[in-house]
Every structure is written in C-alpha cells, then in structure tokens.
Amino acid sequence: MKRLLISITSMLHFIGNLVILNGLWLIFTTLGMIAFGLFPSTAALFAVIRKSFRSKSESGLLKDYWFFYKKEFMRSNVFGCVFLLFAYFFYIDWKLVQSLSSPYSLIGYVLLLGLLLVSSMVIIYLFSLLAHYEIPLARGIKTSILLGILYPFSTLMMLFAGGVLYYVFSTLPILIPFFGVSVYAYILSKSAISVFNRNENKLEAA
C-alpha cells in the first residue's frame, strides 16, 4: 500500500510539473511578444526538462526556466529567424510547384517533401542537442540531420508521437493549455537523450 501511495504521489508530481512547464512556456512566449519569445521559451523548456533527467534536486522551475530563457535568448532567436525564413521560401516554392504541370509538379513535390522531412529532423533533435551539449548552432543543425538519418526508427517514432498527440489535442482541445507543448517536449527529450547516449563520445567531440 505504501509503495502504491509513493507511486501515485510521484505520478501526480510529474503531471503537475508538466502543467507548470506548459504554463511557463506560454507565459515566456508571451513575454517575448510571441515573435521573440517562442524559440527562447522552447529552448528553456527543453533545458529544464533535460536538467530534471540529470538531477532529482529541484532548485525551482521558475528560476531555472528564467535562467535558460535568458541564456538561450539570442541563439534561439537566430535559429528562429532562419527557420521562419526557410518556412517562407518553402511556402513560396510549394505555391510555385502547384502551378507546374506534370511530371514537373511531381518532382517538385518529392523534393519539397524531402526538405520537409529534413526540417522535421532538425526540429525534433535540435533543442535537445543545444540543451545537452555546448555546441554552435550550425553544428547543432548539421548533427540533428545526421542523427535523423542514422536513427530512422527513433526519428519516425518521435514524429509518430507528434501525430498521436496532435490527434489527442484535436479531440480534447481543453488539454492544450495544460499539456499542449510540455508533453511532446518531454517525449522528444527522453527519446533524443537515449540516442545521444549511444553516441556520447562522438557528440562530445563535436
């Protein structure tokens, strides 16, 4: 009975932390007027989750979140600008391909879907990489793509988890303010760290 109560308490504590982290993500994203807060807040979220994996001691979620938010503000916004620029050109290219006739449109769609897959690799690995290692942004992007290619099963499982969560939150949108970002960030962090552990020496050397 005692072990059951401990398990329930731990589970409630874990769920509570996810709710708090999701709330902090929303607050700090808004603090940066969304445009300048989205990427630093996401980077801070991954950094705090990563810290919770490595240390059971809690110095305060808000304190840690604010520390990592300030630390990653410039670097994450640089990535944000690059990402938004890429998204803009991707949209323009997609519209252009739609105007092409076959078979050129088919070739264009295949190339664009390939780019979409590569950008997905960057998104699912990069924030965990930057939280886990002191590496330059450009190296982090390159390493994210490399890991996505070398570990296709792990990568597909992370993408699949995103699809499942999208379905759940679409069905139960009331959960979004409480778990909309933090749950997926936790899954990505957990999965990415298991990949990092298989390549610890190589990644540290990078």
Domains in the chain, number: 1
3-class secondary structure, 141: helix
Kindly report, residue by residue over 157-187, the tens digit of the pLDDT.
999 999 999 999 999 999 999 999 999 999 9
Residue type, 123: I
3-state secondary structure string across 56-117? CCCCCHHHHHHHHHHHCHHHHHHHHHHHHHHHHHHHHHHHHHHCCCCCHHHHHHHHHHHHHH
Q: Which of 77, 72, 90, 68 is nearest to 21 (CA)?
A: 68
The two tokens of residue 149 are: 């290619």
Domain that holds residue 196: 2-205
pLDDT of residue 204: 57
pLDDT tens track for 18-77: 999 999 999 999 998 888 999 999 999 999 999 988 776 556 899 999 999 999 999 999
